[in-house]
């Protein structure tokens, strides 16, 4: 239990930092403003399409700001501790290095949950104002967004544990894009025609790509929401397990790298 209380101390300090950060508060205001902007866009929509506009735009906005905050916060989280030398007074205390890293991650997850809940609440208001479909499927969609940005946050933290923020940001964004496109490569691998049939030597490369990078399209259900397709709880739970497996893997690598690091 003591280990968890140390993790909690680091985590609570991490979310306190974000919530006292003016840049974060500013970004939240812009994000909420973005959602209200969808109401203006809805006015320009073709008759009967206003509900679709606010649904699609809102989902996109929550996902976009979630990913941006996860990447920006993730890449500076550990780097800042080292660069600003605040870590010098923490590592010699009775706390394991992996507990520190886990605390930083969980603190970031709390911030992301707050961000998503605030945005989703505003989105719900906007949907209600435009009489757009609003129900359990919407909630499931929001949970899936949260799972995706939790995976992205763990990738950012992994890079942050050994690289500079700019490089970490580029790498994390790269993995986000590759993850979003992973399903295309998966489809090509099972297809009876295409690049992997024409060039069988490339198949191992495609298989490695699909195995290593998380398939982030799993978490993107915007089309289902638009078409009114139900999102079952089983699917969300399975996606949660899928996200967790990648988060554990990325965090384990981050902890191994962090364990070996010198703080000069």
Partner 1 sequence: MTIEDTSKSCVLELHDLHKKFSVGLRMKKVEAVRGVSLAVKSGEVFGFLGPNGAGKTTTIKMAMGLIRPSRGSLQLFGGPPDRLEARARIGYLPEHPYFYDYLKPTEILDFYARLFGIPRAERKRRIGELLEKVGLGHVQNRTLRKFSKGMLQRVGIAQALINDPDLLVLDEPLSGLDPIGRKEVRDLLVELRRAGKTIFFSSHILSDIEMLCDKVAIVHQGRIQSIGRMDDLLNSEQMSTEITFRGPDSLVNQLSSGGVEVDVLGDYMRIRLEGTTTEVLKTLLAGGAQIDSVVPKRESLEDLFVRGVVQAKDSEEAS
Interacting residues with partner 1 (CB under 8 A)? 2, 5-6, 8-9, 13, 16-17, 20-21, 84-96, 260, 262-264
| Total residue length of the chain | 264
Q: How far is the CB of 21 from partner 1 (least distance, A)?
A: 7
Cβ distance to partner 1 smaller for residue 47 or 93: 93
Q: How far is the CB of 261 from partner 1 (least distance, A)?
A: 9
Q: How far is the CB of 16 from partner 1 (least distance, A)?
A: 8
Cβ distance to partner 1 smaller for residue 211 or 264: 264
SS3 148: helix
Cβ distance to partner 1 smaller for residue 21 or 191: 21
Q: How far is the CB of 23 from partner 1 (least distance, A)?
A: 12
| Cβ atoms within 10 Å, residue 16 | 13
Angle between helix axes 136-160 and 97-129 (nearest 10 degrees) is: 150
Cα separation of 99 and 13, whole Å?
14
Residue 218 near residue 238 (C-beta atoms within 8 A): no
Cα separation of 221 and 241, whole Å?
17
Cα separation of 34 and 36, whole Å?
5
Cβ distance to partner 1 smaller for residue 17 or 137: 17
């Amino acid at each position: 239990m003591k280990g968890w209380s140390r993790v909690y101390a680091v985590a609570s300090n991490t979310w306190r930092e974000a919530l006292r950060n003016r840049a974060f508060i500013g970004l939240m205001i812009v994000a909420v403003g973005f959602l209200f902007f969808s109401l203006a866009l809805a006015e320009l929509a073709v008759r009967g399409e206003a509900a679709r506009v606010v649904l699609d735009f809102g989902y996109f906005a929550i996902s976009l700001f979630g990913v941006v905050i996860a990447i920006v916060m993730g890449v500076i989280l550990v780097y800042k501790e080292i660069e600003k030398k605040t870590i010098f007074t923490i590592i010699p205390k009775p706390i394991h290095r992996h507990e520190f890293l886990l605390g930083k991650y969980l603190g970031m997850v709390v911030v992301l949950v707050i961000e998503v809940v605030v945005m989703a609440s505003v989105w719900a208001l906007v949907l209600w104002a435009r009489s757009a479909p609003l129900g359990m499927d919407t909630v499931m969609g929001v949970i899936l967004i949260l799972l995706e940005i939790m995976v992205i946050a763990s990738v950012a933290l992994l890079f942050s544990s050994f690289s500079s923020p700019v490089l970490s940001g580029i790498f994390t964004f790269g993995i986000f894009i590759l993850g979003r496109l992973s399903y295309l490569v998966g489809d090509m691998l099972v297809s009876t025609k295409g690049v992997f049939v024409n060039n069988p030597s490339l198949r191992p490369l495609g298989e490695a790509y699909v195995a290593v990078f998380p398939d982030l399209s799993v978490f993107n259900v915007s089309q289902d929401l638009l078409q009114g397709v139900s999102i079952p709880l089983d699917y969300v739970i399975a996606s949660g397990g899928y996200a967790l497996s990648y988060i554990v893997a990325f965090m384990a690598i981050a902890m191994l790298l962090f364990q070996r690091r010198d703080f000069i």
